[in-house]
Amino acid sequence: MKGISLMKLSCAEAAELCTKAEYKETSLREKIRLKLHLYFCRTCKDYHKNNKKLSGLLKKADLKTCSSQEKEHLKNKIKSEHSQISQQQKKQ
């Protein structure tokens, strides 16, 4: 009976393992614990299914991130525009 209690997961733990599983970061033991939990918990099973679907869509979207230089440029541009707007509002 003690072995079974070691295999139990809370829903919060299951959600964490779902995320780890998407990035192939789960151990064999964690995979088994997650599968067991998903077998009995419909809510987590739906969460896991939706999480996988979202990950798949993000991979298909082929999203690109900004380089550090691009981020810094955008940050400076926003600051500049914000200060211009603030100055205009002070004049009014």
Q: Give me the count of residues in the chain.
A: 92
CA distance 14 to 31: 10
CA angle (71 as vertex; 69, 74 as ends), nearest 5: 110
Model pLDDT for residues 32-86, shown as the tens digit of each residue: 999 999 999 999 999 999 999 998 898 889 888 889 999 999 999 999 999 888 8
Distance (Å, rounded) from C-alpha 3 to C-alpha 46?
26
Residue spans per domain, the chain: 1-61, 64-92
Whether the per-residue pLDDT at 2 is higher than 60: the answer is no
pTM: 0.61
Residues 6 or more apart in contact with residue 39 via CB below 8 angstroms = 45
Give the per-residue pLDDT at 1. Answer: 45
